Structure formats: C-alpha cells, structure tokens
Structure 1
Amino acid sequence: MNKIHSFLTLLFVLITCNLQAQDKEKKLKSISVGYFGEMITHPGFKVSLSYHIFQWENEKKNNKTIKKSVSINPSIGGYYHRRYQTGIVALPEFAYNRTNSKGNSFSIGSGAGYLRTFIPNTYKVTNTGDVKKVNAGYNYFMTNVFMSFDKKLKWATKNPVHLYIKPQFMYALPNFPNGVGYFALEIGLKYSLK
C-alpha cells in the first residue's frame, strides 16, 4: 500500500505542477476553501484549485451570455469522525461548469484520488503479553461524483466571490466486502481570479 500511496501522491503533484505550466487559457481560475462534512456532521475542511481546460460561450436570444467550461480541480482536505477515524483526502476532480449572465453557476463532475485514514485508540498485544498502543489506519483509492451550486455574492464586484454548496458521493476501495460509500457535504467560498 505504501507504493500506491507514493504513486498517487506523485501523480497529484505532477498534475498540479503541469497545470501551472500551461498557457494562459489553462491558468488558475479560482481557489475554493470550505467546510467538508463527511456524512455532513463529521467536520473537516477542503481546499481546491480550478484550472479551465476548455471554455466557450453561448449567446441566448435575449442577449444573455452563458459561459461553459471543462476544468480540472486538484483538491486536498480532511475530516474528523470522533472515536472512529480521521481522514485525509487528495482528490483531483474533472468538472463541467455552466455560468449564467449574473455570474451564478452549476457544475457536475467526478474525481479519483487517495484517502488515508487514521484510527485512534488502537492497541496490540506483544509476544510478551504486554499491551502496546499503535498507530493504525488504511490507504484507499477513492472516487467521487458531485454537483455544485455557486451563488455570486453582491458585495464582491472586482474579483467575484461565490458561496458554493457541493453535495457528493464518495466510494473508497478496498474495504469489506468490496468498498465503502460516503456522503459528504461541502460548503464554502470560491474566489475567482482574473
């Protein structure tokens, strides 16, 4: 599992570095910071970057412009589930984004990455019969599917700030018997860059 962990970490770093080296159309478009609640009530945080790979515009009959894009969003975060586990997530995501003329947007997408859990209060019995506290946890391959709704805040005019809500379903492998599903709710602020 350490090889898988190293590979996924390296892949995440390479994707992020490669995106930063792309041309102007693919530069960093926004930074998001939010509450990441695994099963809603297990508190955590998540930080994401958004790079647009493709973008285009459609003009409606009423002269309103709809902006559309495909983005890759590397993210890192974590959550705390009291007396059960703490999870750290590295999850690059692909998304289709649609922004209306008022600046509000809707996104749908999916990702694949890495989940590392840490289990508290774990003990083992040594060969001599002593009880010893140990560090325990698991490495998982994780996927997710999500929808995101962004609302432009009226007071943010120069560089728009959006309030977003992002429900998502995550699935981690391997687990008993095959995998385990998680629902997470992410709520936060997205800062758009010029």
Structure 2
Amino acid sequence: MLKTLLILFTFSFFANFSLAQDLKPLGKYFYTISYFGEKVFHPGVQISVNRSQYISKNINNQKNRLVIGFSISNYVYPKNHFGLRLTPNVSFLHANDKGFEYGLKSGAGFMRRFYHGKVFEVDDYGNVEQKYLAGQNAFTYEASIVLAKNWYTHKKKNIRLFLEFGGFKETNYNESSLFHPVVNIGISKYFNMKK
C-alpha cells in the first residue's frame, strides 16, 4: 500500500507541475499541532514546522504547492510501549480558491519505542540487571492522504484545519517490519520569518 501511495505521489507531483505556470517561492511558514492516533485509538501528539516551498497555478486556475516539514510525534500503546518519532517529510498539496486543499504526504525518519514496565537482562553468568529506558530503535517511512481547509483574513492565510490518514512502516521489528495505521487531526498557524 505504501509503495502504491508513493508512486501516486510522484506521478501527481510531476503531472501537476508540468501544467504549472509562473512557479515561484512562496516563503510561507506554518507550524502544526495535532492529535496523532496510532491505530486511531492509541493517543499521541504531533508537532511540526513546515515551509511552503513553491506555489503555482495550472490551466484550471488551481493552486499547487510543495511543503517541506519536520515533525516530532509520540503515541502511547497502553501496557505495551511509548513511541517517539522524528520525521522529515514532503507534501504536494492542491487547493481551490475557497481554501480547500488535498494532497499526498510522505517521509522517512527515526523511531524509538520505550517499553512499559520493568525490563531485566540476564548475562552469560546468570547475573540479572535492570535496564532503564529499555526499548528498540527503528527506521520508519510514511505515506498519507491530506485533506485541509485554509481560512483567510485580509487576503492572508492565517489558520488551517487538516486531516491526514495513512500510516507508517516500522522496520527492524522482531526481524521483520510492522505497519501502523494513523489518523492525524489538527490545526496549523501561518507565520512569516524575517529575512
């Protein structure tokens, strides 16, 4: 499924930008905070900082933009583990004049899971030692579908509500990999950085 989403993302990116006119840097930043639901009901929080890299209009007067971001997310799997993820990502978004937006997002990053409860390790001599902050590191890659609505004030985008649904794949999981479906619902705030 992730491979299919990545192929669709790549095709959509090049197909839309082949129709683009007057491509130019937007220079617009926004940060987000959201509910990060691993398997929907394992609660977590995601915070990200993003930059709208380009904006364009195609022949139908629709706007396209490329967004580069970095996110920190966590979630709690009750009585099992706490997950922490650091993920750079890229999104291609397509919007109409009313501020409704949809697109695809993908990324790859680092994950650390911390096990709940006490973990002990026994060495070759039979000595038992408690391991603090025991867990497992993994490489992850993600893909999701993005739906959003921008609100404008004085012809400027100020606030954005969004919904992302997709998932990420955790590698190095018991000598295999594990897919995590995710729902991400949150709010974005736009700002400009001084040069």
Deviations 1:50-76 (A, max 9, x none): 21233211353xxxx411011211111
The partner residue of 2:86 within 85, 90, 112 is: 90
* Partners of 1:131 and 1:138 in 2: CA distance: 18
Count residues with an aligned counterpart: 165
Amino acid paired to 1:30: F
Structure-2 separation of matches of 1:144 and 1:128: 41
Deviation at 1:107, TM superposition (A): 1.9
Q: Does 1:123 pair with 2:120?
A: yes
Q: Which residue of 2 aligns with 1:166?
A: 164
Q: How does 1:19-38 map to 2 (within 5 A)?
A: 25=25, 27-38=27-38
**Could you tell me the TM-score, scaled by structure 2's length?**
0.75
**Does the residue aligned with 2:153 lie in a helix, a strand or coil?**
coil
Detail structure 1 runs of 4+ shifted over 6 Å in the superposition: none
Residue-by-residue CA offset, 1:40-95 (whole Å, 9 max, x unaligned): 111111111221233211353xxxx4110112111111111111111111111111
What is residue 54 of structure 1 aligned with on the other side?
A: 54
Give how far 1:130 is off.
5.1
Q: Runs of 5+ in structure 2 lacking a partner? A: 1-23
Q: Considering only aligned residues, what root-mean-square deviation do their CA atoms show, in Å?
A: 2.2
TM-score by length of 1: 0.76
On the 8 A contact 2:75/2:82 being kept in 1, the answer is yes
* Whole-Å separation in 2 of the counterparts to 1:37 and 1:140: 19
Q: What is the DSSP-based 3-state SS (H/G/I as helix, E as strand, rest coil) of the residue aligned with 2:134?
A: strand
Identity of aligned residues (%): 22
Amino acid aligned to 2:98: K
| Equivalence for 1:108 | 104
Structure 1 regions of 5+ residues with no counterpart? Answer: 1-23
Check the 8 A contact 1:124/1:134 in 2, yes or no: no
Structure 1 residue 31: deviation in Å?
A: 1.2
**Cα distance in 2, alignment partners of residues 74 and 111 from structure 1:** 9
Letter in 2 for 1:46: Q
Distance 2:66 2:105 in 1: 9
